[in-house]
């Protein structure tokens, strides 16, 4: 029984790059996130394309440094602009969902776990860098703690 050729996830994703970014941009638009709506369609698409490109670089080179650096840079830029982490993380999430759907349809079952693992690892590393950078920036500014005392008072 012939075995499948080695997994080349980057070629698969590069082949469908325009459709992937378009689908992710549509999903991001449907999220109705204030800052992304203000940015406009072309800027949303440009940002998703940049994220997609760095994900491909990390996948192709099997190197997480590019996605770490990109996520850190985006976090600093968006934090300085007053954009919450949830909005930025949504962009990572919509791209990840689109990539997973593409991979599940296109990859042979015996290579699916590796393919999903690669995509999840790269985007997970990016989201981790994004979150750690946001937290570091927020703690430098000494963001006040939330007053949660009302949650712990007696009564129902």
| Tens of pLDDT, residues 87-123 | 889 999 999 999 999 999 989 999 999 999 999 999 9
Question: Do the beta carbons of residue 89 and residue 130 sit within 8 Å?
Answer: yes
Burial 100-135 (b: 16+ CB within 10 A, else e): eebbeeebeeebeeebbebbeebbebbbebbeebbe
Which single residue is written with the structure tokens 């459709």?
Answer: 19
Cα-Cα-Cα-Cα dihedral sign, residues 133, 138, 141, 142: negative
Whether 156 is covered by a domain: the verdict is no
Burial 3-15 (b: 16+ CB within 10 A, else e): eeeebebbebbee
pLDDT value of position 141: 62
pLDDT value of position 5: 53
Q: How far apart are CA 8 and CA 71, in angstroms?
A: 24
Domain count of the fold of the chain: 1
pLDDT value of position 79: 93
pLDDT value of position 84: 87
Regions in the chain scoring below 70 on pLDDT = 1-6, 34, 37, 141-156
Whether 46 is covered by a domain: the verdict is yes
pLDDT value of position 8: 84
Q: How far apart are CA 63 and CA 10, in angstroms?
A: 13
Residue 26: domain span: 10-141
Whether 137 is covered by a domain: the verdict is yes
Whether 152 is covered by a domain: the verdict is no
Whether 15 is covered by a domain: the verdict is yes
Whether 19 is covered by a domain: the verdict is yes
The residues, ordered by sequence, that sit 6+ positions from 83 with a Cβ below 8 Å of its Cβ are 35
Whether 153 is covered by a domain: the verdict is no
CATH code of the domain in which 65 resides = 1.10.490.10
Whether 150 is covered by a domain: the verdict is no
pLDDT value of position 1: 43
Q: Which of 69, 72, 65, 67 is nearest to 136 (CA)?
A: 72
The DSSP symbol for 149 reads G
């Amino acid at each position: 029984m012939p075995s499948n050729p080695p997994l080349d996830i980057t070629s698969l994703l590069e082949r469908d790059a325009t459709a992937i970014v378009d689908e992710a941009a549509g999903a991001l638009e449907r999220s109705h996130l204030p800052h992304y709506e203000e940015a406009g369609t072309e800027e949303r698409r440009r940002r998703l394309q940049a994220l997609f490109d760095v994900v491909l670089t990390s996948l192709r080179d099997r190197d997480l440094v590019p996605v770490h650096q990109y996520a850190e840079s985006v976090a600093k830029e968006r934090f300085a602009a007053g954009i919450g982490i949830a909005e930025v993380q949504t962009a990572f999430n919509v791209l990840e969902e689109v990539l997973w759907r593409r991979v599940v349809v296109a990859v042979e079952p015996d290579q699916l776990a590796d393919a999903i693992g690669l995509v999840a690892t790269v985007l997970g590393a990016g989201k981790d860098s994004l979150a750690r950078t946001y937290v570091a920036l927020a703690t430098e500014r000494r963001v006040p703690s939330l007053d949660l005392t009302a949650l712990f008072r007696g009564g129902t």
